[in-house]
Structure 1
Amino acid sequence: MALIAGPTASGKSALAIELAERVGGTVINADSAQVYAELRVLSARPSVEDEARVQHRLFGHVAGTEDYSAARWAEEAKAEIKTAQERGSLPVLAGGTGMYIRTLLDGIAPVPEIDPAIRAEVRALPVSETHRLLGEADPEAAARLNAGDTTRVARALEVVRSTGRTLAAWQAERVGGIGEAIDLAPLILLPERAWLAERCDRRLSAMFGEGAVEEVHGLLERADIPANAPVRRAIGVAEIAAFLEGSLTRDEALERAQAATRQYAKRQYTWLRHQPPADWPRTDSTDISKQIGYFARFL
């Protein structure tokens, strides 16, 4: 299996398609935003034309009404990898969501299903109160997490309340990873930062003119997709929503979306540089022909 990981706008999709074309491979999405059906443009999913070039899986297959997770993605990815291998097609994973990659390869903490009543109660609290209560129930998690990180703070509190164990205790156990059962050929794309920032800005500008604004308008019109739905937290949604609602100009919304994208790319860059195994090859080359060389054993 080939794995191409890189921050947003690093060119991993183009490389994955090129490799899959050469070897009869199947491109499998490993990006948390690109799973949503409603966000083809804003998530930079491959175009319809690119998807027609090779088999693509797990792109745009989730409705924005669904609460998707890394655990569900990993199970679906394992099934797609198995299917591709059975038909003699090389699975080519492409994405930059570190949690997805870790969950697939290393497994996931076997946290039981959270009691729905507890989840609803925790998610209804203001984040400041959630963090205060977490400090009482799990002081180590409260000290570790940013008090304003709504999602992570709520997750830590709901786990300890529902299961009686801290999230860290559950995370010490991992099950279901396939890292030791597959022949993995990874490549991490880490292009020069200035090049990456410029590409992020240029891509956001193009998105605004090619349908991203209309996509967000469609989300806002959907009464069945609440404001706190994961799809509404995708980068660019809040900024475009503010533009559509009149609190930002178009240029202001674009600038803020570009800044948010650059910050996200910076976090991905740092994670990919330091967290994956040290023996995974990393390259700063943006030349696809050179990048393809890392997968010579498949060619």
Structure 2
Amino acid sequence: MTSKKTKIIVVAGPTGSGKSALALQLAERIGGEIVNADSMQLYRGMDIGTSKPAPEELERVPHHLFSIVSPDTNFSASDYRREAAAAISDIESRGRTPIVVGGTGLYIKALLHGLVDSPTGDPELRLAFQDLSGDELLERLREVDPETAARLHPNDRVRLVRALEVYSQTGRAISDFRAEHAFADTEYEALKLAPKVERAALYNRIEDRVDRMMEGGLLAEVASLMERGYGVEHKAMRAIGYKELCAHLAGEISLPEAVALIKRDTRRYAKRQLTWFTRDNEIYWLEYPESFATIVKIVIEFLA
């Protein structure tokens, strides 16, 4: 007899769409606790530029996986899955409802569906492929894994090299690992929600939010991080808002140029997030706050 799956609420969507406000109001209404699924809000000291919940919001309901690692830590999707699963288990054990909120689609996918159990990367093997053209890589892959080769373009070097790397290490096609993974069961039964926002309105929100971040001290936050030894050599500091202001503080670009780049790159990031999440036909896209009563109704029916 299979054990009953843990029910969780997932509030996803692009940056600036209002998902954090929705998750907070929903948590208060249903007795929930929030689990972060934003890859940048994990980092300590990176508060303004990642739009972390304000102290008064943190006091309203319990929040998990915010500010848990330093900016020089490489935190993977596998690390996230482990930490989020532990937080969800703790929340459920106390009779509360886990509400996972964030815009990092890979983290949400890793949590709900796990990660393909294929070998870790091998830098030496990757060097062996670096002099091959995309067409040559694709031709090699066709010989050992025609299924994966049929899905890839010669310009997609990262995935081509990864597929060849897996075959070189194991003698098995990466498509075989994915096929096995597809039959793996998930631990969670998830209701996925996302605030519905027109793209033009979303872009306006993003620009306004960047202005508020600058007024709220983002430049000083980045300067403080750099003074403590965190720079663009660390993955976290290459996040939008941080890399541009690092460049400004290094004298490479003016402040107005940096702000314009932050706005542009955030718009582009939101567009990529929209593309990712709109491919997921399990997501309920609902206007917020206008449809909050409907959202609560859907959630209560799901939990019941």
When normalised by structure 1's length, the TM-score is 0.82
Select 2:253's aligned residue among 242, 248, 254. 248
| Distance (whole Å) between structure 1 residues aligned to residue 216 and residue 46 of structure 2 | 12
1:129-187 per-position Cα deviation (integer Å, ceiling 9, x unaligned):
5876956865748736545xxx76776676566556565554444289764x4342221
What's the counterpart of residue 12 of structure 1?
Answer: 19
- The alignment status of 1:283 with 2:293, answered yes or no, reads no
Which residue in 1 is equivalent to 2:214?
208
The answer as to whether partners of 2:232 and 2:246 remain within 8 angstroms in 1 is no
- CA shift, 1:292, in A, is 3.6
Aligned to 2:240: 235
Provide the residue aligned with 2:153 in structure 1. Answer: 143
Tell me by how many angstroms 1:226 deviates: 6.2
Residue 294 of structure 1 is matched in structure 2 by 298
Q: Does the CA-based 8 Å contact 1:191-1:286 persist in structure 2?
A: no
CA drift at 1:232: 2.1
Q: Structure 1, residues 193-243: CA drift from partner, whole Å, max 9, x if none?
A: 1111111111111112223222322343454x5634320221122211121
* AA aligned opposite 1:235: I
Aligned with residue 46 of structure 1, among 42, 48, 53: 53
Query: 2:220 and 2:160 mapped to 1: Cα distance?
Result: 32
Structure 2 residues without counterparts, runs of 5 or longer: 1-7, 143-148
Following superposition, the deviation at residue 90 of structure 1 comes to 0.5
- Name the residue aligned to 1:189: 195
The Cα of 1:39 is off from its aligned counterpart by 1.3
- Whole-angstrom distance in 2 between the partners of 1:131 and 1:210: 47
C-alpha separation between the residues in 2 aligned to 1:45 and 1:199?
16
SS in 2 for 1:64: coil
Paired letter, 1:234: A
* Identical pairs, percent: 34
Letter in structure 1 aligned against 2:193: L
| 1:271 alignment counterpart | 276
The Cα shift of 1:190 comes to 2.7
Distance in 2 between residues matched to 1:5 and 1:142, nearest whole Å: 28
Per-residue CA deviation, residues 237-280 of structure 1 (Å, 9 max, x unaligned), is 22111211122211111111111001111111121112x2x243
Counterpart CA distance in 2 for 1:227 and 1:74 is 26
Number of residues paired by the alignment? 287
Partner deviation per Cα, 1:3-49 (whole Å, 9 max, x = no partner): 11111011111111111112221100111111111311111111122
Identify unmatched segments of 5+ residues in structure 1: none
Q: Which residue of 2 aligns with 1:198?
A: 204
Shift of 1:78: 1.1
SS of corresponding position for 1:184:
strand
Q: Provide the rounded CA distance (Å) in 2 between the counterparts of 1:280 and 1:22.
A: 21
More moved, 226-235 vs 185-194: 226-235
Task: Write the distance in 1 (CA, Å) between the matches of 2:40 and 2:297.
Answer: 29
Opposite residue 78 of structure 2, the aligned amino acid is: A
TM-score (norm. length: structure 2) = 0.80
Structure 1 residues 156-167: aligned runs within 5 Å: 167=174
Which residue of 2 is the match for residue 106 of structure 1? 113
| Contact 2:137-2:154 within 8 A present in 1 as well | no
Aligned mates of 1:21, 1:227 — CA distance in 2: 38
Q: State the match for 2:84 in structure 1.
A: 77
2:240 alignment partner, SS class: coil
